[in-house]
A = this chain, B = another copy of it.
Amino acid sequence: MPQPDVYERLVSLRRRSATLGSVHRLLNWDQETYMPPAGAAARAEMLSVMAELSHKAATDPRLGDLISRCESDPALTADPVIAADLREMRRDYDLATRLPSELVAELARVASQAQQVWKEARAASNFKMFAPWLDRIMALVRRKAECYGTPPGGELYDALLDEYEPSARSADIEAVFTPLRGRLAGLIGEIAASRKKVSTRILTSKIPADRQHAFGQFVLGAMGFDLKAGRLDVTTHPFCDGLAPGDTRLTTRYRDEKFTDALYGTLHEMGHGLYEQGLPKSKRHGLPSAESISLGIHESQSRMWENFVGRSRSFWTWALPRARKMLGGAMTRATVDQLHAAVNTATPSYIRVEADEATYNLHIMLRFEIERGLISGNLRVRDIPGAWNSNFERLLGIKVPDDRRGCLQDVHWSFGLVGYFATYTLGNLYAAQFWEKINKDIKDLDRRLARGDFAPLKAWLNKHIHAHGRRYRADELCRKITGKALSADPLMRHLEGKLRPLYGI
């Protein structure tokens, strides 16, 4: 017998839990943007109380009970959207209840100290200072993975991947990463050997932050980011937070002497933001069908707008006349070709977050292998620098000079974030594979972009990706849209098609 009231109670509990999550997210956003420094201690207390309340809501036994009752109601499970929602609510509830709260608390405590040690170790460029803390973190992370349990047909590390990329398996990822790594390393080698140098001087002319901000806002509006349902602010580390229905916040940072940092940062976060604004939150707030699939799919949206749109020749064809007026400076004499070349250089460098579109993926694959080795036990923490440095040189052809520019550069591990890195490259791969399909569906896309007509692209993403929420898994969505499993080919076609002519190879 159908029990609509049971389902409604379930929806209302989920919605309440999502609302608590929104509050927590706003506290975080404010901490990064406008909170005065002396408010830090009180803010930590506020965040901790809200985290506790959120966790309590997510593990409320009534929630588990209501999910069970709905799962056994054929009137509900016959609806494919409700069925998918129930499947995802079950997943969330099981994940949340599987971790003992002492483990969560200990991980939070150790991570908060480890972050301090990591900062000092990085400043001193001394991995040995950080190693004992990373050992503790890894032991706790492994315990976490054991609580989740090795997924069927997978390895222990997959339990960690699964948090960020549901149902992903490292063996599948490896099967895509391996050809990508070989072809990318080859391409990078050819570029390094090429005589043609691409100038980036045009990017380093001084442009004041307020002009950059106005231009960024203009581009956001033109691309369809709804500024009545979102905003753009400044933080040290740019991010996007779809913190509540109708409230999606982007941040960027301005460097007077390199305006493309902020511009591409803004486009990147806007890609995330368009996804958040495209989710059916107004009707289904609190339900998985109004939430994003995975970090990889989220990243595919940000990379698409940043790299496939923003670094294209057509983007600059449209943007340059406006940039001349709004940015001034060197823009007044820049050409489309100059800008297109300057924003598409590919050069090996040490720091992941400063890497270009091509070499970036090699940074990721290095981390993926190291993490996998750490969790399987094939690699010990103290052996990280050696493994890092030798693999880095093999992949990127340059020698890591010190730990600061090597294995100490990322904050992730000190937070206990293991299994996260792979999603960055998955995002690039999904973006490329979707992009080929989009160009089949919208035949004149390039010409449209060149005249600033971004609406068909946004509408396509809304319809084929955003509207589904968590109804499909990432790999299912990929097959559904492109007819194929994820592959390295589209991304390599994209990079080679752009970089070979640019470097005359």
Chain A residues packing against B (C-beta within 8 Å): 15-16, 19-20, 22-23, 26-27, 30, 34-43, 45-46, 49-50, 53, 226-231, 233, 244-248, 285
Knowing A30-B30, A34-B34, A34-B231, say if A23 contacts B39 (CB, 8 Å).
no
Inter-subunit contact A40/B246 (CB<8 Å):
yes
* Residues of B with C-beta under 8 A to A27: 23, 26
Task: Label chain A's interface by main secondary structure.
Answer: helix
Kindly state the separation between the CA atoms of A258 and B124 in the bound complex, as whole angstroms. 54
Inter-subunit contact B38/A50 (CB<8 Å):
no
Inter-subunit contact A228/B46 (CB<8 Å):
no
Distance to closest chain B CB from A280 (angstroms): 14
Inter-subunit contact A244/B43 (CB<8 Å):
yes
Inter-subunit contact B38/A229 (CB<8 Å):
yes
* Residues of B with C-beta under 8 A to A41: 245-246
* Residues of B with C-beta under 8 A to A226: 38
* Residues of B with C-beta under 8 A to A38: 226, 228-230, 246-247
Tell which of B22, B34, B46, B247 touches A36, judged by Cβ atoms closer than 8 Å.
B247
Kindly state the separation between the CA atoms of A194 and B40 in the bound complex, as whole angstroms. 56
CB closest chain-B residue, reference A26? B30
Inter-subunit contact A246/B49 (CB<8 Å):
no
* Residues of B with C-beta under 8 A to A19: 42, 45-46, 49
CB closest chain-B residue, reference A48? B19
CB closest chain-B residue, reference A23? B46
CB closest chain-B residue, reference A246? B38
Q: List 18 A-B contacts (CB under 8 A).
A: A15-B45, A19-B42, A19-B46, A19-B49, A23-B27, A23-B46, A23-B49, A26-B27, A26-B46, A30-B30, A34-B231, A35-B247, A36-B230, A36-B248, A37-B228, A38-B229, A40-B246, A42-B285
* Residues of B with C-beta under 8 A to A37: 228-229
Kindly state the separation between the CA atoms of A79 and B30 in the bound complex, as whole angstroms. 39
* Residues of B with C-beta under 8 A to A20: 49
* Residues of B with C-beta under 8 A to A233: 34
Distance to closest chain B CB from A428 (angstroms): 30
Q: A16-B49, A34-B34, A36-B231 are in contact. List 17 more A-B contacts (CB 8 A).
A: A15-B45, A19-B42, A23-B23, A23-B27, A23-B50, A26-B46, A36-B248, A37-B229, A38-B228, A38-B229, A38-B230, A39-B229, A39-B244, A39-B246, A39-B247, A43-B247, A46-B244
* Residues of B with C-beta under 8 A to A30: 26, 30
CB closest chain-B residue, reference A233? B34
Kindly state the separation between the CA atoms of A246 and B226 in the bound complex, as whole angstroms. 34
* Residues of B with C-beta under 8 A to A15: 45
Interface centre among A19, A36, A43, A50 (most CB of B within 10 A): A36
CB closest chain-B residue, reference A15? B45
* Residues of B with C-beta under 8 A to A39: 229, 244-247
Kindly state the separation between the CA atoms of A233 and B42 in the bound complex, as whole angstroms. 20
CB closest chain-B residue, reference A226? B38
* Residues of B with C-beta under 8 A to A227: 36
CB closest chain-B residue, reference A227? B36
Inter-subunit contact A42/B246 (CB<8 Å):
yes
Inter-subunit contact A246/B36 (CB<8 Å):
yes
Kindly state the separation between the CA atoms of A371 and B291 in the bound complex, as whole angstroms. 50
Kindly state the separation between the CA atoms of A50 and B37 in the bound complex, as whole angstroms. 24
Distance to closest chain B CB from A415 (angstroms): 23
CB closest chain-B residue, reference A248? B36
* Residues of B with C-beta under 8 A to A45: 15, 19
Interface centre among A27, A49, A245 (most CB of B within 10 A): A49
Knowing A26-B30, A46-B19, say if A36 contacts B245 (CB, 8 Å).
no
Inter-subunit contact B34/A22 (CB<8 Å):
no
Kindly state the separation between the CA atoms of A40 and B285 in the bound complex, as whole angstroms. 14
Kindly state the separation between the CA atoms of A349 and B267 in the bound complex, as whole angstroms. 52
* Residues of B with C-beta under 8 A to A34: 34, 231, 233
